[in-house]
Every structure is written in structure tokens, then in C-alpha cells.
Structure 1
């Protein structure tokens, strides 16, 4: 019978499950984290768990927070087990489980007053974020903060009861300013180019709608360090819960399964101290940008490259996509011919070796990452992970046949059926719009590129438009397999 995960049962867990060696009762909060999902619990929380296990940093425990009703489900699952999480690392030759205990509270999502009150506590010195690419109110075409977004406008008009993450953060900063407390650092851990700059733009942009003096104070007094984060972490299903119970004898409402690999590169720029994360492998650098660009283009762009052909060919798992010779070869060719040439040198990194590492990570047969997860939210991900690469290829006068085909594959996927005719369930916040546009693009490809908020100037490029139209026509006429075959044979 599996042991139910709880604080009281930590001592009863099977011997093959690692557990904290620190006294949880001695932990005190230092971080409020928005977006308590799988990635955060497999990444930031694991680094902190390793730090706490080393005997230091016990005043940096995490308090969870959120703004959406949907986050209450995860909170309830964690509340039943005293905020504990089992993290399972897997690859073809390795499987281990550990229980992390770095979260000591989780404020009710949407309770802005309670969250602002906690943010005004001097003990809270960092507010961290994993709120996904879509949470920063970025205009996709310009890449800039959008001050006209309805949620931002609403918060600016009523900052006493804010609804957005950045409204709550700004309200917390205002309280600290009024009380003479050093402002906290805002630490984005999302996969966005210049994530610290983006978080700064959102916070200061909202403040500017409220009061220019407030905006200047935030600009001059609050730190927004850039960071690059990396760990492949799929969603949790009954499959993962069952594996954990069978292999380790633990009953966990919401375990996290992930790959063994993890990476965190960050600027050392904080307003009121930070945990000594360099002791557990975090790399602090002067400039994160080269590491970030490499990861976003090669890994995240690589995910997009394999996602849509695999989805159209009814492939379920990512490792199965990598076992498909066409998908794997498409990734290899596109990365080396069109994506990697846009990545400048990175200190201490051989780009080809990094690309090979990414291919091995994608091929991990144990991780259980799904193609559907990679296909999710293309309207937010494509403008960050693919379209800037196309823009750089156009600027350099380089070919973009493969990138245009990737874009055509996304369009074909958003039509809503696979090559076999199976229905693709909605998989984007803008699915209705995308599906209607993809339907129109079947006969008029330019309709897809006319989504200026997504493609911007790239969509107006005649060479790209021609390559996109050719790729989309091939997908509709020949199907995904034959189109990939011709691309790989340089005969598309």
C-alpha cells in the first residue's frame, strides 16, 4: 500500500525516496512565487531544496501565489499533503524520487488583499514568476508591453483590488514604498527573451498608467534580473501518479516528473539579497542574453520544429516523434542550416555539442512529454521562438525554406485535423481565430501571414510569403510525410 505523502508521513516513506534533511519548522519565507506549476516545482524549488539540504538559506522558503481560479485545483492538491512535492527524475538509465519541502504556504489564488499583505512583509525579498509566455501582456508583433490590454487598463483604474499578477506586484511595491521597506526583487523564470526586461516593462508600464513618479521610483529602485531556465517537465497525469506509486510506494496528488538535466543562468542583480544558489549549480553571469538566445532558438525553436509535424502524424509522445526518421531529420536539418547560424557564440559553449545534447534530451523515452504540450499556445510561442529567427535569416539574406515550412505546419495544425482526419481539440487561447484563419489560408495562404500581431514585418516579406505558401500547398497536396521527405531531399 503506497504511503500517503504528508509531513507526518515523511519518516515512513520507502528508503528509496530521498527526503529533506532540514527541519521544516525552522524555515521562514523569503520568496513569493506566482505560477506554482510543474516547471517551478521541478526547477526553482529543487535548487532551493538542494540549498536547504546543504544547511544554508533556510530564510528563503517559498510562499505560493496566483491570480486564476484554475490555480485553486493545484493548491488544494498540495494543501492535502502539506505543500510537499515528489520530484521524479527519469531517463533511459536513471530513475530517482525525492520529496521537496521548500514551499511552506500557498495563498489562495485571486485573494489579492492577502497576497499584497504578504508582499508588504519585509521578510519577502524576492517575487518570482513562472506565469508562461502569455502572462506578460506583450504585443506579439512588436515584442513590447501592451498598455492597452483590458486587464492592465482595469488594474490601472482600480489598483486597490488588482486582478493581474503585475497589478498585485505593483500594489505590493507601493505598500513597501509607503512603509519605507526595501523593495523586493522581481525574478522572472519564464522562457521569454530578456525575461527580466519584460517583467520590468510590464511593472513600470502599469505604474506609468497610474503615476509617472511611481513609475520612475520602480525603475530606479527595483531589480529585475534576467535569467535562462531549462528543464523539460511534462504535465502530470494518472500515468505519472501510477508510476510513482508502483515504483516508489508514494501516493502523491500532484507529483512532478522531469528529466535529470537542469540549468539556471542568471544575472546577479537583486535589491535585498538572494539565496546562495551558486552553491547548488546556478551560474551567475554578467550577461544572460547569449545563453538565453541559444536556448530559446535551439531548444524552444526545436520543440516547435518537431511539434507540428508530429501532431499532424498522430504521434503522441515527444520521444516517439524523435524515433520517427522524418521528424528527427527535419529537426537536424532545420537546426543546423537555418537556426544555429543565427545564434552568436556563447561563453564556454560549443553550439554543435549543445544541439546534440538537445536531441538526446528530446529523445528521452522515460519523460512522457507529449506532442500536444509542445503544440500548445503557438500564438504566444511562435513570435518568441520562431519568428525572430526568420527575421534574422531575412536580414542576413539567408534561406528560410525550413522555417517557412515550420510555420506552414503550424498553420496546417491549427486547421484542426491531422493528416488521418482525426480532430485536434482546441490547443491555444486564440484557437477559434487561428482555426478560422487556417481555413481561409488553405486557399489563400497570405491570410495566415496577415495576422500582423503575430508575424509583424516578417509576414510582409515576399520571399518568406512565397516559401510559406509553397510549404502549405505541399502539406495540403502531399501530406506531412511526403512534404518532409521532399524537404529533406532538397526537392520541396
Structure 2
């Protein structure tokens, strides 16, 4: 079968000049920021082509280069698959082998935005991504630019600003914006089944294809000193306060996603939709949203937490996504502080014991032990895996948990009770007891 390329794809708009550098050439970027940017260019024009930078792996970079920087996004909605071929990337580079070229690109005054999808682990002083970004900024000589974190971190713009200012000094903010953002679209990792679907619907081989749900959202703080694409005309929300949207995403969408991942993996459910379909699971997560999460949030005007949660569950039920529970369960030590622990801390500060949130935390603690309810081994893909497996008191790990957790005897008792129930009855038995 022929390969996707400019010669075989038909009339795909060419990328304009480079105005954006994106660090992190993963599936989410290709199905989210790239789609919004392609639509913004179509609506408002401008030299906003994206130079994509793969920090380490060439697994996506090489196929993309072989395909003239074209790839397809497959929108998966039940049995219906809607393909779209995008050509919004103007360049693609490999940071590990081309650091000087990436640095020159970041220093180019024509580049006015850098977006990042590099996961929580990269937001540490001295990380390779941060060092590369700092070198490029140092060479810009004051040319205006916005650094746009699209990772699932609270106040991600402020977090990035603190890291950059620590390296370059406070004067960097005179020419640099650090807008906080909320991004949302379920984009599972591509598999051979994804590539087979692309062959079927495109009639071409596409080794850079991604599948994604129909829903997609992007909320951005308005802080772009060098300008920006017409993302608002592509459906993004430009606002002065991302916080209410960020809280919904982190605690409702991602918190429930993690709940389904850990409870589902223990129960033997390979994908999120099958985890949600387990007897008693939907009732449990609806109560998790209503009784534990909702009291901790102040949603945007016109939105209720419960309504937002029902929408999230409808998305999770999309069986076409085949979103693996083990993929979502990765890096729990890095994700749970944003997704779950804040909910628990806020409820404890209010004098309440969050029943369902502590069940999720207990499920993660059992997941760390590496054995499912049926005795199947579970992998622990986490930067703290060795410490997690070796420690006898997870709550004492201050790199994961707030200090107050270790001293909270009532919280410890609740987690111990859930742990005993999960050991004795498994997830299905625990869910049955909740009904």
C-alpha cells in the first residue's frame, strides 16, 4: 500500500512560515494543539506553522519526516471513523541529536510561541527540556514570545514561569508571556489497530496517525506579547482566568480517569470503557464526583460540576477509543497530587472524610504492589517505582503526599479499611458493597 505523502494525499493545505515551536511530538499534540492551529490558520491566516521538536524518541519523528510532515487524525465516535489529514507542521527536529538547530529555532524572532506537552516529569529544575528552552530564550535578545504549557499541572503557566525566571532572572518576563491553559481531548496511544484503521479509511499507510474522541477543548489565558493564531475562531476559549476550567479538568476529568484506571486495572478491565461498565462502577464514580469533588470546586458560570462530570463519563464510555487503563495508570506518583490529593486535602480541611476519593487512593496503593485481583502481575511504570515498591509507609513519602497526610490518623484508618476490603473482596466485591 502507498504511503501518505504530498504526492498521495491530495489537496492538503501547506504549512505557512514557522511561528510556533512545539516541544513534545506526542499523540496529544498532534490531535489537539495542531488541530486547533490548523483551524485557526484557515480562519485567520498568519505565519503560524508549527516546528515540532521530539525531545528523545524518533518513533513519531521519522514517520512524519518520511510522510512530508503529513499525518491523519482519526475521530472515533462509536462505529464511525472520520479521518482528517493535517499538514500544519512546517519543520520537525530531534532535540537529542540536533540541540543546536533547536536552540537556533527557539532564538529566531519569527517564532513567537512555544507550546509544550512534555508530561509532568519535565517540570523539574535541570530537566533536558527546560535546559533546551532556557538556552533558546537566552539567545532571543528580548524578542517577544509566549511559553504555553499544555501539560496537566495546576497553574501550569505560573509553574513554567517560576522555572524559567529561576534560570534567567525576573527581567525575562518583560518580553515573555506565560499563559496558563486547560487542554482536553482523549487521545490514546496509537497501536497496530490504529494503523490498520488508517489504512482502511485512507487507503494509505500512515505510521504517524492518531485516533481521538470527537470532543476537544482548549482554554488559554490571554498573555501573548508576540501575538497568537486565531485560536478563538477555532473554538478555543481565551480568558483572563483559567482556574475554574483547570479545576474541572484536573479533578473531574483526570481524577475520575485515574479512578477508572486503578480500580479497572485491579479488576482486570483493560480499557476505560470496560472499567466504567463494571457492575457498580458508574454509580461509584458519580458519587465520587458529587460528594467528594464538587464541594471543592467553583466552576465557571453556567457550568455545574455534576453536569460536567456526566459529560466526562459519556466520553469515557466511547468504546472505539480503546484507552488502556495501564496507560492512564502510568506515573501515578506524578499525577495523583494534581488529580486526587487536592480533593482529599480540601475535604479533610473542611472536616469531612472523602469516602470515594480515599477508595481511589487505596486502589492506587494496592496497584503499586503489582498484583491484580486475579493474581495477574501489574506493571509499575513510574519514575519513583523503586521507592514506591520498597517503602512500607506510602503516606510518608513527602515527594508525593502533603505532610498533613502522614499525621492524619483518621485518613490512615480510612485507607487501611479500604485496603483490607480490596484485599478480601477485590474491586468487584467492594463496588457491590457500595450499591
Q: Which TM-score bucket, shorter chain as reference?
A: over 0.9
In the other structure, the counterpart of 1:159 is none
- Provide the C-alpha distance between the structure 2 equivalents of 1:364 and 1:296, rounded to a whole number of angstroms: 20
- Provide the C-alpha distance between the structure 2 equivalents of 1:187 and 1:229, rounded to a whole number of angstroms: 11
In the other structure, the counterpart of 1:195 is 156
Q: What are the ranges of 5 or more consecutive residues in structure 2 without an aligned counterpart? A: none
In the other structure, the counterpart of 1:174 is 138
Q: Do 2:279 and 2:431's aligned partners in 1 also have CA atoms closer than 8 Å?
A: no
In the other structure, the counterpart of 1:469 is 416
- Provide the C-alpha distance between the structure 2 equivalents of 1:183 and 1:51, rounded to a whole number of angstroms: 21
- Provide the C-alpha distance between the structure 2 equivalents of 1:369 and 1:285, rounded to a whole number of angstroms: 31
In the other structure, the counterpart of 2:73 is 87
In the other structure, the counterpart of 2:241 is 287
Q: Do 1:34 and 1:130's aligned partners in 2 also have CA atoms closer than 8 Å?
A: yes
- Provide the C-alpha distance between the structure 1 equivalents of 2:14 and 2:207, rounded to a whole number of angstroms: 23
In the other structure, the counterpart of 1:308 is 262
Q: Which runs of 4+ in 1 moved over 4 A?
A: none
Give the direction of change, closer, same or farther, for the CA distance of 1:467–1:100 in structure 2 (3 Å limit).
same
Q: Map 1:339-350 to 2 at 5 A.
A: 339-350=293-304
In the other structure, the counterpart of 1:255 is 209
Q: Do 1:85 and 1:254's aligned partners in 2 also have CA atoms closer than 8 Å?
A: yes
In the other structure, the counterpart of 1:277 is 231
What is the aligned counterpart of 2:49 among 37, 44, 61? 61
What is the aligned counterpart of 2:100 among 98, 103, 113? 113
Q: Deviations over 1:138-173 (max 9, x none)?
A: xxxxxxxxx5xxxx2xxxxxxxxxx62221222112
- Provide the C-alpha distance between the structure 1 equivalents of 2:343 and 2:301, rounded to a whole number of angstroms: 21
Query: Structure 2-normalised TM-score?
Result: 0.96
Shift of residue 84 of structure 1?
1.1
- Provide the C-alpha distance between the structure 2 equivalents of 1:277 and 1:284, rounded to a whole number of angstroms: 8
Q: Deviations over 1:357-387 (max 9, x none)?
A: 0010000111111111111110100111100
Work out whether 1:8 is the aligned partner of 2:7.
yes
In the other structure, the counterpart of 1:41 is 30
Q: Do 1:233 and 1:257's aligned partners in 2 also have CA atoms closer than 8 Å?
A: yes
Q: Map 1:157-236 to 2 at 5 A.
A: 164-177=128-141, 181-207=142-168, 215-236=169-190
Q: Do 2:279 and 2:428's aligned partners in 1 also have CA atoms closer than 8 Å?
A: no
What is the aligned counterpart of 1:448 among 394, 409, 419? 394
- SS of the aligned residue for 1:131 comes to coil
Shift of residue 417 of structure 1?
1.1
- Provide the C-alpha distance between the structure 2 equivalents of 1:220 and 1:23, rounded to a whole number of angstroms: 34
Q: Do 2:245 and 2:299's aligned partners in 1 also have CA atoms closer than 8 Å?
A: no
- Provide the C-alpha distance between the structure 1 equivalents of 2:138 and 2:390, rounded to a whole number of angstroms: 44
- SS of the aligned residue for 1:33 comes to strand
In the other structure, the counterpart of 1:131 is 118
In the other structure, the counterpart of 1:142 is none
Q: Do 1:66 and 1:165's aligned partners in 2 also have CA atoms closer than 8 Å?
A: no
In the other structure, the counterpart of 1:413 is 367
Work out whether 1:100 is the aligned partner of 2:54.
no
Q: Deviations over 1:81-126 (max 9, x none)?
A: 1111100001126420000101121112222211111111111001
Q: Do 1:4 and 1:251's aligned partners in 2 also have CA atoms closer than 8 Å?
A: yes
- SS of the aligned residue for 1:270 comes to coil
Q: What are the ranges of 5 or more consecutive residues in structure 1 without an aligned counterpart? A: 12-18, 138-146, 153-162, 208-214, 441-446
